Structure 1
Amino acid sequence: METNLKNKVAVVTGAGGVICSSMAKSLAAMGVKTALVDINAEAVEKLALEIEKEFNITSIGVAASVLDKDSLIAAKKVINSKLGSINYLINGAGGNSPQATSGVDQMEESDLENLDQTFFGMKMEGFDKVFDLNFKGTILPSMVFAMDMIENKSGSIVNVSSMNSYRPLTRIAAYSAAKAAVNNFTQWLSVHFSKMGVRVNAIAPGFLLTNQNRFLLTDEATGAPTARGEKIIKNTPMERYGTPEELQGTLLYLLSDWSAFVTGVVIPVDGGFSAYSGV
C-alpha cells in the first residue's frame, strides 16, 4: 500500500538534534522534501547536504528560533520559495534544563540542610526556559507553518511529547509539566483544525539517550548508568533504551493517509514503560 508522502514538503523544527535529524532522514527516505529548522544554522545546513547526498531528495537548512515569530515567518518565506507549499510540520524543538531539575527524587528531613538540591533550589529562569522551549516552541511554529495547510485544507502536524507527560518523573518538574501542556495543546488544536482538513497528533517517546538527558542517565566520567538510569531500564519491560530510528514508523504513520481518521492522539513509543506498574 502506497502512502501520500512522496514529493510533499515537511518542516522539522529542532532538526539539529538527535531525534529530529533521524526523523528528517526517515521523511527523505519516503521522498519527502524537508526544511530543517533550527537555531543552529551550521548543524541543519550540514544535515541537509547529507540528506540530499544519501536520499537524492531536496533538503534545506533554515536558521530560525521557535521562540521568535518573526524569524519563523522569515523562514517560511525561504521554504515557500525553495520548496513550495508546506504539507507537514514536525514540532521537535524541546529540551530540559539543569536549573529546573532537582537533585533528589524525594525530599527528606536530611535535605533541610541542603535545600538547593530540592524543589526550593530550582530556578524560575530554568522553568521559563523549559516551558518556553517545549510549549511555546510548539505553538509558534504551528501558528506560522500551518497556514499553508489551512489554505490547502490538507496537512498533518506531529508534536514531539514525552512519557513524562503521562506520569511526571521525579526531579524534572518543569519538563514534565511542559510536555503535559504539549499533549493538551495537541488535543485542543486537533479539534480547532478538524474541519479544515488538518490533523494534529503527537508522539511520546520513551527513554532515549539524548544530549538533554544524558547528564541524568549516565555517569559523565565512566559512561555507566546512573542509579536513575538503572531504574529506567528496570521499569522498561523491553529492558533497554529506545533509539531515534524506532520513532520513525509512528511518525510516518501519523503523517500519511494511513492515519486519515486519526487526530488528537498521543502515541507512546516507550518499550512498554507506560504499561508497567513495577510489579
Structure 2
Amino acid sequence: MINFSLEGKVALVTGAAYGIGLAIAQAFAEAGAKIVFNCSRQETVDRGMKAYKELGIDAKGYLCDVTDEEAVKAMVADIEATVGTIDILVNNAGIIKRIPMTDMSVEDFRRVVDVDLVAPYICSKAVIPGMIKKGHGKIINICSMMSELGRETVSAYAAAKGGLKMLTRNICSEFGEHNIQCNGIGPGYIATDQTAPLREIQPDGSRHPFDQFIISKTPAARWGTPEDLMGPAVFLASDASNFVNGHVLYVDGGILAYIGKQPK
C-alpha cells in the first residue's frame, strides 16, 4: 500500500508564514504532521501564527535568522526538546534581488547566496544528526526553475539556486545510506502576493507584459498556485518517495519542456 501519511512526523518549514511555505506546511498538517516554522522578523512570525490559527493548525513559530548557524542550532535543539526530532525539513526561506549584474553590489550578491544557499546548508547540517540517530529523514530544498535557466537581473538568485540543486544531490550522495532522502522542488511562476503586481490588468484591459510573457511560455497557459505544490511536497516528505533521492521535481506547468510558440 502506498503510504502518503505524515502522521506523527515533525516538519520544519523555514520562512513559512505565507505563500509557498505556508501552503506546503498546510499540506503537511493535513497529512498528519506537526508543523514548526521560522521567520527572521517577529512581525512575520506573528503573521504566520495568525494564518495557521485561521487554518486550524497548531503550529509553533520561531524567530530565527537561518543564516546564523548558532541561532539555527539553538532553534533545532529547542524543537527536539519540545516537539520532537525533526523528520522533515523544507528549506523554503529565500530572497531575490532583481538587479542587472553589472549594477549589483557584491554585498547584495553575497546576501542572496547567503539566504538561498548557505542557509539551507546550515539548516540541513543542523537536522541531519537527529535524522541519522532516528534512522530516517526527508529534506526538501526549494530550488526554483532558475537552477536550470538564466534570465536578466537574477544572476545571484540563479547562481544560488543552481548551487542548491547541487547541494541537494550531494546530501543525497553523502547521507542516502542513512535512509535520508534529499530532493528539491523547482516551482514555476507561482501566483502569490509578491507576484501580484506582475499580473495586474493594465488600464487598457490587457495583461501585464510579464504576465503575457509567462502565459506564452507555459504549456499549461496559466500561473501556478501555491496549492499546486502541496501534492508534490507531501509525496517527497512521505514514505511514498523512499527510493527517490537527489532529484529535483519541477512543478512548472511544462516551461522547462517547452521551446515556446513560433512567432506569427
Same fold (TM over 0.5): yes
2:43 and 2:142 map into 1 onto residues whose CA distance is 23
Higher RCO (CA < 8 A, seq sep 6+): 2
Do residues 39 (structure 1) and 25 (structure 2) align? no
Unaligned runs of 5+ in 1: 103-118
Change in 2 beyond 3 A, CA 1:224/1:13: farther
Tell me the number of residue pairs that the alignment of Structure 1 and Structure 2 aligns. 259
2:221 and 2:49 map into 1 onto residues whose CA distance is 34
Q: Out of 168-177 and 88-97, give the one that drifted further.
A: 168-177
1:24 and 1:227 map into 2 onto residues whose CA distance is 32
Per-residue deviation, 1:11 = 0.5
Do residues 194 (structure 1) and 194 (structure 2) align? no
Residue 165 of structure 2 is aligned with which of 179, 183, 190? 183
2:51 and 2:195 map into 1 onto residues whose CA distance is 26
Aligned match of 2:77 = 77
Contact kept, 8 Å, 1:149 with 1:198, in 2: the verdict is: yes
Aligned match of 2:142 = 160
Residue 228 of structure 2 is aligned with which of 241, 246, 259? 246
CA RMSD of aligned residues (A): 2.2
Do residues 272 (structure 1) and 241 (structure 2) align? no
Aligned match of 1:129 = 111
Q: Out of 82-91 and 145-154, give the one that drifted further.
A: 145-154
Per-residue deviation, 1:45 = 4.1
State the Cα deviation string for residues 221-259 of structure 1 (Å, max 9, x = none).
969754233211111111111011110100000010111
Change in 2 beyond 3 A, CA 1:233/1:220: closer
One-letter code of the match for 2:175?
Answer: F
2:175 and 2:109 map into 1 onto residues whose CA distance is 30
State the Cα deviation string for residues 171-192 of structure 1 (Å, max 9, x = none).
2111111111110110011110
1:7 and 1:255 map into 2 onto residues whose CA distance is 13
1:221 and 1:79 map into 2 onto residues whose CA distance is 47
Runs of 4+ in 1 over 6 A off after TM superposition: 219-224
Contact kept, 8 Å, 2:36 with 2:59, in 1: the verdict is: yes
Aligned match of 2:24 = 23
Q: Out of 189-198 and 222-231, give the one that drifted further.
A: 222-231
Instruction: Trace 1:46-195 onto structure 2 (pairs within 5 A).
Output: 46-48=47-49, 50-51=51-52, 54-55=55-56, 58-98=58-98, 101-102=99-100, 119-195=101-177
Percent of counterpart pairs with the same letter? 32
One-letter code of the match for 2:149?
Answer: R
One-letter code of the match for 2:96?
Answer: N
State the Cα deviation string for residues 16-58 of structure 1 (Å, max 9, x = none).
2411011111111111001111112333344345435644x54
2:153 and 2:208 map into 1 onto residues whose CA distance is 14
Instruction: Trace 1:195-214 onto structure 2 (pairs within 5 A).
Output: 195-210=177-192
Aligned match of 1:258 = 240
Change in 2 beyond 3 A, CA 1:209/1:267: same
Per-residue deviation, 1:60 = 0.3
Per-residue deviation, 1:126 = 1.6
Contact kept, 8 Å, 1:89 with 1:146, in 2: the verdict is: no
2:53 and 2:34 map into 1 onto residues whose CA distance is 9
Per-residue deviation, 1:166 = 0.9
Give the structure-2-normalised TM-score.
0.90
Contact kept, 8 Å, 1:96 with 1:213, in 2: the verdict is: no
